[in-house]
Structure formats: structure tokens, C-alpha cells
Copies of this chain bind each other. A is one copy, B any other.
Amino acid sequence: MKNNHVLNEMASALKEATSVLIYPHIKADGDGLGSAAALCHALRKMGKEAYILMEEKVSETLKFLDRGYCIYDASLLPSPDLTMALDCSDHTRFPGRSDSYESGKVKICLDHHMTACPLGDICFVDPHAAATGELVYQLLMEMGVELDLEMAESLYTAILTDTGRFQYSNTSPSTHQLAAKLLAIGVDSNKIHNQIYSNVSLGKLRITSMALSGVKLYFDGQVSVARVTRSMLEEAGALMEDTEGIVDALRSIQGVEVAVFLKEEEPEHIRASLRAKSWAEVDSVATRFEGGGHKKAAGCSLYTNIDEAEALIIDAVRGIFA
């Protein structure tokens, strides 16, 4: 563990505070909320007043993590001794709560996303950690906290979701060592996996299967394309957010290197998500349409109808296989 002294300093600051507000990023995911819930629970067990300040409702799938920790109004805990940005290290990642964060007497920040300008009085960003949950575990150890089942479940959720079930290349031996420790405390892996991955709404299942039924392949099966239109959503009884995951299914087709998923946000506004399986660099396609992202995951918007948008993207993707 590097920069041990920073975590040590952070642990001391948390131990000294009597009121703490925690700020996970917007659209809090399993790592953001799991990390926050584990820490919030630990702080309360130490007799402190601690809350997680949110700016949107917790997603249905992650509700089990919020055991009375989440509040939506900063005035419930005015002038906290300590504010802590967690799983984010940039104001733009918690825009509606930025002022509240600044009101903390001491401001700290713990994250694993690389940022240009880390914030707070004490800041620890470790991009080598698979999840912020790994860093919260290290912090709790620094604080001398003994993990209980509730903290273990929250931390397990954090590392499970941010590694894509121990899949992504950020998964390290220490990720699995931590998982081993959490299971030893009593985490029921089957229960948590069911909660996260076996909790699909009927609308989501329907829109996913409708979209995938219409999959098309290009360039000798190296590119897969599917779409969701407004009328398909209506027919499926689904929301656009239910289309999450479709692009991963497109990417998982045998022989496919690039997956393209088109969402009709408005009749003349198409959002394209691009994913690469192993070697392709799809950000080059997205930037052509003023979008962006990473080499393996990128996106862009096209202001035209969906057929035209598909033709434009396919034409841009062609260059990858030239």
C-alpha cells in the first residue's frame, strides 16, 4: 500500500470529527454507494453523526445498501466537521452538492479515478485500485475498525460491481484477497449477485430482447449494430435507461470486435455507444462526431434520423478494418 501516511492522516481526521457528510458521485454506482455505506456505518458505530448526501434517488438495484444513510438535503447536517468526496475527486462529479462539500471544516477525498486536480485538504487517489471500496477497506484498517457483516456486504458490492464481477483488467490479486476476507466475515455472494444481477425489470428484459433480435452484422461479422427507437420503448414498456447493457451483449457476439448501439433520444438526436472487444480503438470514431471516451468504450451524438445515423457510423467504423 502506497502513500500509507496520507491514509493515516485521513484516518486521524475521520476519528477526530463528530459529524461527517459523504459525497459519492452523481448516478452513484455500486462502488460509490457501497464504499459510502461501509464508511458511514463504521463512523456511526464509532458514535459519530454520519450521512451520505445524495442529489438523486438511489437506483432500485442498489437500495439494499442504504440502511438509513442517504439524505437529500444538506441542511439536515449543517456545518459538518468533515466532508468527504468518495469515488470522485472532481467537483463536476457532484455538481449539485459542491457548495455543501466546501462547507466542511475539513474536506477530504478518496478515489481511484485519475483526475487532473484532486480536491480537499487531504486527498488520496489511487488509480491502481480496482474499486474505491478497496481504498475504503484500507482506510478502515488504518482507523482500527473491525469489519462487521454490513460493512463487508457494502464493500463486496463495491468491488464486485467496479470489476464487472472480477472480470476487468483492474482486478488484481489483492481484489480477490479482499473478497476472500469479506466472504470469511459471512458475505453471501449468491445473495449479493442476485440483488445486483438478477433484478431485471420486465421492461428492461423486453427492450433488450427486442433490440438484440434486430442485430445486424457488418464487415464479415466484425461489427455488430442494434438500435432502440422511441416506439420500441413504448411497445416494451421500458425507459431509455433500461437499455444499459445492450451494447455489452452486442460486443459479446463471437467474432465481433466492435459493437455499435444506437439510441433514438429524440427523432433527430441519435446517441451512439461504441465498444471494442480487444484491439480496436473506438474513440477515434466517436471524436469524428464530436464525442469522446476511452479506446474500448466511447460515445457520440448524431443529429439526424436513426437510419442516416447508422449509415454515418458504419462508414466511420470502416476505417478501423481498412
Q: Across the interface, do A199 and B166 meet the contact criterion of CB distance under 8 Å?
A: no
- Copies of this chain, how many? 2
Identify A171's interface contact among B189, B199, B208, CB under 8 A: B189
Does A314 reach chain B (CB closer than 8 Å)? no
Residues of B within 8 A of A167 (CB): 165, 189-190, 193, 197
Q: Across the interface, do B180 and A176 meet the contact criterion of CB distance under 8 Å?
A: yes
Does A172 reach chain B (CB closer than 8 Å)? yes
Q: Across the interface, do B166 and A189 meet the contact criterion of CB distance under 8 Å?
A: yes
Name A's B-contacting residues (CB within 8 A): 60, 164-169, 171-177, 179-181, 183-184, 188-190, 193-194, 197-202, 205-206, 208-213, 215, 217, 221, 249, 251-254, 277-278
Identify A194's interface contact among B171, B197, B277, CB under 8 A: B277
Residues of B within 8 A of A213 (CB): 206, 209-210, 213
Q: Across the interface, do B181 and A169 meet the contact criterion of CB distance under 8 Å?
A: no
Choose among A167, A181, A199 the residue with the greatest number of B CB atoms under 10 Å from its CB. Answer: A167
Residues of B within 8 A of A166 (CB): 165-166, 179, 189
Q: Across the interface, do B254 and A201 meet the contact criterion of CB distance under 8 Å?
A: yes
- Which residue from chain B places its CB closest to the CB of A203 in the assembled complex? B254
Choose among A165, A176, A200, A252 the residue with the greatest number of B CB atoms under 10 Å from its CB. Answer: A176
Nearest-neighbour CB distance to chain B for A276, whole angstroms, equals: 11
Residues of B within 8 A of A168 (CB): 189-190
Q: Across the interface, do A200 and B165 meet the contact criterion of CB distance under 8 Å?
A: no
Q: Across the interface, do A253 and B209 meet the contact criterion of CB distance under 8 Å?
A: no
Q: How far is it, in angstroms, between the C-alpha of A172 and the C-alpha of B185 when the chains are bound?
A: 11
Nearest-neighbour CB distance to chain B for A118, whole angstroms, equals: 27
Q: Given A165-B167, A166-B179, are A205 and B249 neighbors across the interface (CB < 8 Å)?
A: yes
Closest 3 CB pairs of A and B: A176-B180, A209-B212, A198-B252
- Which residue from chain B places its CB closest to the CB of A248 in the assembled complex? B198
Nearest-neighbour CB distance to chain B for A158, whole angstroms, equals: 15
Q: How far is it, in angstroms, between the C-alpha of A168 and the C-alpha of B190 when the chains are bound?
A: 5
Nearest-neighbour CB distance to chain B for A192, whole angstroms, equals: 9
Residues of B within 8 A of A184 (CB): 173
Identify A183's interface contact among B171, B194, B197, B209, CB under 8 A: B171
Residues of B within 8 A of A278 (CB): 194
Nearest-neighbour CB distance to chain B for A180, whole angstroms, equals: 4
Residues of B within 8 A of A208 (CB): 209, 212
- Which residue from chain B places its CB closest to the CB of A211 in the assembled complex? B209
- Which residue from chain B places its CB closest to the CB of A164 in the assembled complex? B193
Nearest-neighbour CB distance to chain B for A63, whole angstroms, equals: 12
